[in-house]
């Protein structure tokens, strides 16, 4: 157990739907990062939050949004889902904001859009 | 275009063999990390290297950061079946506070 908790582990939904993925960071970690992993693209950075504030955006689609709450858990909202959104979504956390220190990853949410 | 190119993409070896996987870029990185990912799990950090030419050892695993901080290698001695997994390198571009950029990984299979 890495200490980063992601729910649900699996999610199957239809095109056009909206889903919410949840992440609880490791105790004491203030930074939360969301990544998408697909077979052809590898791990792609989506967005980062630090202590409740958005810090950086990567290749995140406009249909996707995220937030970090006062208790530091984070949610990734995916809407108007398309078949191509099927992927593994990982949340990672770190103590500090500096990205060179290494992240602790959760076990991921496998999203299947049918 | 992938900033971090990993090779080989796939590697299948017998238990007891040695192997080296590579992570290359034309860009300079302020630090570089190696992760191992098993099916159904998230990547697990193995090591971080920050100084050009740095060598770090973790039991049978040896990590090296290139002198120019553009490349890295991971060498495994006497591979075991438990080493099977996806090995990912990831780095932060030099001079930036940018986010961690991942390579696509090397999928290693160690057969008994």
Q: Tell me the mean pLDDT in the region A101-109.
A: 91
Q: What's CA B19's distance to the chain center, in Å?
A: 12
pLDDT in tens, B29-77: 988 999 999 988 999 999 999 899 999 999 999 999 999 999 999 999 9
Q: How close B45 gets to chain A, by Cα (Å)?
A: 7
Q: Tell me the mean pLDDT in the region A30-49.
A: 91
Q: How close B69 gets to chain A, by Cα (Å)?
A: 14
- Quote the pLDDT of residue B1: 64
Q: Tell me the mean pLDDT in the region B79-94.
A: 92
- Quote the pLDDT of residue B99: 78
Residue A43 has pLDDT above 80, yes or no: yes
- Give residue B96's pLDDT band: very low, low, confident or very high (50, 70, 90): low
B98 vs A99, A101, A108: nearest CB: A99
Please enumerate in sequence order all residues whose Cβ is within 8 A of that of A48, keeping only pairs 6 or more positions apart, or say none.
A31, A32, A33, A34, A54, A55, A56, A57, B99
d(CA B41, CA A90): 9
Q: Could you give the C-alpha distances from B86 to A65, B43, B82, B95, in angstroms and in order? A: 29, 8, 12, 28
Residue window 1-40, chain B: list those with CB within 8 Å of chain A. Answer: 2, 30-31, 33, 35, 40
Choice between A39 and B52, residue whose per-residue pLDDT is larger: B52
Q: Tell me the mean pLDDT in the region B88-110.
A: 86
A38: enclosing H helix or E strand = strand A31-38
Mean pLDDT of chain B: 93
Q: Rg of the Cα trace of chain B?
A: 13
Q: Which residues of B touch A101 (CB under 8 A)?
A: 48
């Amino acid at each position: 157990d890495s200490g980063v908790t992601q729910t649900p582990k699996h999610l199957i939904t239809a095109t056009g739907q909206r889903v919410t993925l949840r992440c609880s960071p490791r105790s004491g970690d203030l930074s939360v990062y969301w990544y998408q992993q697909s077979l052809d693209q590898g791990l792609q950075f989506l967005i980062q939050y630090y202590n409740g504030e958005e810090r950086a955006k990567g290749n995140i689609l406009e249909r996707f949004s995220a937030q970090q709450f006062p208790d530091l858990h984070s949610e990734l909202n995916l809407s108007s889902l398309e078949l191509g959104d099927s992927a593994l979504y990982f949340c990672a956390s770190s103590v500090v904001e500096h990205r060179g220190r290494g992240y602790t990853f959760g076990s991921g949410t496998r999203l299947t859009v049918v | 275009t992938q900033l971090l190119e990993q090779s080989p993409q796939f590697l299948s070896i017998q238990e007891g063999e040695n192997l080296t996987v590579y992570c290359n870029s034309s860009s300079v990185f302020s630090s570089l990390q190696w992760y191992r990912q098993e099916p159904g799990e998230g990547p697990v950090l193995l090591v971080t290297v920050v100084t050009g030419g740095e060598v770090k050892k973790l039991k049978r695993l040896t990590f090296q950061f290139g002198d120019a901080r553009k490349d890295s290698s991971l060498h495994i001695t006497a591979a075991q079946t438990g080493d099977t997994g996806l090995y990912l390198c990831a780095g932060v571009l030099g001079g930036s506070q940018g986010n961690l950029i991942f390579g696509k990984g090397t999928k290693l299979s160690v057969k008994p």
